[in-house]
A = this chain, B = another copy of it.
Amino acid sequence: MTIAMNELQWVDFLKKHVNPGRNVVVGIGDDCAQVKVGKEKLLLKSDLFIEDVHFKRRDISLFSIANRAVGRVLSDFAACGGVPLFLGVSIGIGSLSSSNLKQLLKGVVTCSKKYKFAFIGGDTAKSKKVFLDVWGVGRSDKCVLRSTAKVGDHIFITGLLGKRPFNASFVPRIKEAQFLVKNFKVNAMIDISDGFIIDLYRILQASKKGALLEGNLPVTNGKSDLYRGEDYELIFTIDKSSKNIDVLRKRFHFVGRIKPNSFGYKNRRGDVKINGYTHL
């Protein structure tokens, strides 16, 4: 909780000092920044993936490092209802051999084909530890925010929690997000990078709302999955007036409803405990 507040204070500092200008629709504090260039609505995002902070080399293959570093950014585009257009990767080489580096880049190239974005290169430099900064441009005709959940919204998750081992590749939920924004009134969306409980809390904080978690939450290994990061499923809230919510209940996992701010953040037994991995 203390750690989470540090990240929120951090975002507050940036919000206060950064004057992003009139072509920035959403600046600091959502999954992506949303900007306008002429008539085009674009998403901008970067995400760091650092040896001994986000991963240990012995736990994960070079291909999975690439896939995961890229996937995290694609997942953020998905969380805004968008698709990727162009991605670059800045690499701190650390202990990587030339052949390691080639494998890593081939991983990025494989992703670019699978998820249909253009890989436009990027910078490489010597460094103490291996790190990747994946950055890029996406497109979203109808940008979904964290801050626009409404009282009465049905809350869903795109898949089971705790199902994706860290050392495996994961599939960012781009297709699912496209299906949702094209067919339903999605009021708010976020991807689960730090844990279901903390990431839903971010929607509630940004939207100034409460929530009631209902029924059995879709966990694989037990309650710890609710607090486990790196799942990269999407949490989304659907307007209560939406038609065909039953379709969503069959395809995805219903987990609860948005309540007024004064209600708090609860499950049937009382207040939800908040924690989860945060970066600062």
Say whether B137 contacts A44, CB under 8 Å.
yes
Contact in complex: B50, A105 (CB < 8 Å): no
Checking B39, B85, B105, B131 against A14 with a beta-carbon cut-off of 8 angstroms, the contacting residue is B105
Q: Which of B17, B23, B137 contacts A118 (CB 8 A)?
A: B23
Residue contact A131 to B137, C-beta cutoff 8 Å? no
- Would A44 and B133 count as touching, CB distance under 8 A? no
**Chain B neighbourhood of A200, CB < 8 A:** none
Q: Is the CB of A20 within 8 A of B105?
A: no
Q: CB-nearest residue of chain B relative to A116? A: B21
**Can you list 30 pairs linking A and B with CB atoms under 8 Å apart?**
A10-B124, A14-B121, A17-B106, A18-B112, A18-B121, A19-B113, A20-B119, A23-B118, A24-B86, A24-B120, A27-B118, A27-B120, A28-B121, A33-B88, A37-B42, A42-B137, A44-B86, A46-B88, A46-B90, A47-B123, A48-B124, A48-B133, A50-B127, A52-B128, A53-B126, A54-B125, A92-B131, A126-B280, A128-B128, A128-B129
Partner-B contacts on A (CB < 8 A): 10, 13-14, 17-21, 23-24, 27-29, 33, 35, 37-40, 42, 44-48, 50, 52-54, 85-86, 88, 90, 92-93, 102, 105-106, 109, 112-113, 117-129, 131, 133, 135, 137, 139, 279-280
